[in-house]
Structure 1
């Protein structure tokens, strides 16, 4: 039995579609839904990426080194922003940044832009060590990927790139712990997380920020995989927003939207240092 409010709402939607057309009605509804769910434009100034840097830097112990990994560094914008924000926060020592960019031409651009204290690595972090083909859209292009995610038409070249894991890298580089791990690898993000399984098990990473979007379809991965990987090790999972982290008690089918956004894994200690946003499904505003 359909309730009276539902019948009224259905009639209103049908009328709206008849007046403006289904296309416009769907676009308006999609905008309202994404706005309400805090699926905001994918700009680090708007979606909480740079806010997360600021929150982490301001709550980190001032007398301890701050270590960050920039995985999928591209031409270094995220690393440069972290250095700027550390200086603005008055930290006496700049963050120890390890940047990873496998595409040859893009890596050269990265090395030209970041200062020498950033340790730049021409390496694709993944879930194993070896080599893989990388699909190149262009030098410095944000869609260069280990997966031909947008079809082969946009790809201008392929190149073989070296792969490795975070677990192996921290062992050989002597990195004891990571305060902030940022992953933006165009659909390869879960493989990078899998390659950090040892670090996650030992909670040697305080906060992970990773990108989730439709490109996860190509390697056949889901947010549920992240919950299954991280929650047994004591990590909280949430979505990054400019207001704070929208935390989830567990995986829910409503999360599996493939809409572009950044999500975070936090240890219990780190989660207490970050602003929080109530999940819309919790019933709180």
Structure 2
């Protein structure tokens, strides 16, 4: 029997086994278990910054860059400031070298953010997108983490008019030459935030941009392919953040468009070489072990 014939026979046997399993425990349970196995093997972990690699990335960046170098950091979609607070705690005695700019458009959430961050931080009550002006923030609660510039799928959502800027405009207005680390958590609007930084990426004014990708991108009519199309020609490397390192991708691939929640990076090649990396599952047989 040839290798192809053996593979076809194995698939037929696996298919029969799944059919039997579905009849015994029900399709719902089989799908849920299969989804868990798929997500786990792809390192699509629950959205907890302590375990999904977000806080680990902060440490990797602080280690990769010289301790004496001032760092400019942008927290876009800062909410109440947990990400920025963790970064400041990791920096410890060297925290004064951080020039921190945080953005939160919601009136109530911005008030809490301003209380939670030190006076040295620039706390902006602004939305960040791909155009400047006034925009509608759709809120489902005073400090809800899912408030977004995208319309909410609930009749109880309210609209708050807020000011908006772009990364390009903000850097020009604040006379900021370079951003070492930018974190974006814009509840499905992340792709538009990146588009609003195109001129900054063109002049390599951003070393690393972390952005969240999830099912809300569907409502925003955006794909990871849009990020690759925007940044790959500018020689940025793109990968998924995991607790063990960054899963770098050589190019966009249809298998990446899962709309499963995760954090991704766009990074200059120089800094990418200093970050821990892991092989993509399509390029080898990396271990499924995760932190």
Cα distance in structure 1, aligned partners of 2:283 and 2:221: 29
**Are 1:83 and 1:94, in contact at CA under 8 Å, matched by a contact in 2?**
no
Deviation at 1:255, TM superposition (A): 0.4
Q: How much has 1:154 moved relative to structure 2?
A: 4.5
What displacement does 1:233 show? 0.7
Residue 120 of structure 1: CA displacement?
Answer: 0.2
Q: Which residue of 1 aligns with 2:113?
A: 110
What is the CA-CA distance between 1:93 and the residue it aligns to? 3.0
1:92 Cα deviation after fit: 6.4
Q: How does 1:26-45 map to 2 (within 5 A)?
A: 26-45=31-50
Distance 2:114 2:135 in 1: 22
CA deviations over 1:209-231 (Å, ceiling 9, x no partner): 00000101112000000000000
Matched pairs, number? 281
- Corresponding residue number in structure 2 for 1:260: 261
Partners of 1:23 and 1:153 in 2: how far apart? 29
Alignment of 1:118-129 (within 5 A): 118-129=121-132
Deviation at 1:245, TM superposition (A): 0.4
Cα offset, 1:153, TM superposition = 2.7
Give me the TM-score of the superposition, normalised by structure 1. 0.96
2:80 aligned with 1:78: no
Structure 1 runs not aligned, ≥5 long: none
Structure 2: any 5+ residue segments left out of the alignment? 287-291
Q: 1:95 aligns with which of 91, 94, 98?
A: 98
Supply the distance in 1 between the matched residues of 2:155 and 2:182 (Cα, whole angstroms).
32
- 1:94: Cα distance to partner? 4.0
Displacement of 1:91 in angstroms is 2.5
Map 1:144-183 onto structure 2 (within 5 A): 144-149=147-152, 151-155=153-157, 157-183=158-184
Aligned to 2:25: 20
* Per-residue Cα deviation, 1:93-142 (whole angstroms, up to 9, x for no partner): 34111000011111111111111011100111111111111111112210
Which residue does the alignment assign to 1:235?
236
**Alpha-carbon distance in structure 2 between the residues aligned to 1:163 and 1:93:** 28
- Normalized against structure 2, the TM-score is what? 0.94
Q: Deviations over 1:18-47 (max 9, x none)?
A: 111100000000000000000000000011
Residues 47 and 92 (structure 1), Cα distance of their counterparts in 2 relative to 1, 3 Å cut: closer
Aligned-residue RMSD, C-alpha: 1.2
Structure 1 runs, 4 residues or longer, greater than 4 Å off: none
CA distance in 1, matches of 2:198, 2:52: 27
CA distance in 1 between counterparts of 2:230 and 2:78 reads 24
The structural deviation recorded for 1:152 is 2.7
Q: Aligned runs of 1:243-282 on 2, under 5 Å? A: 243-282=244-283
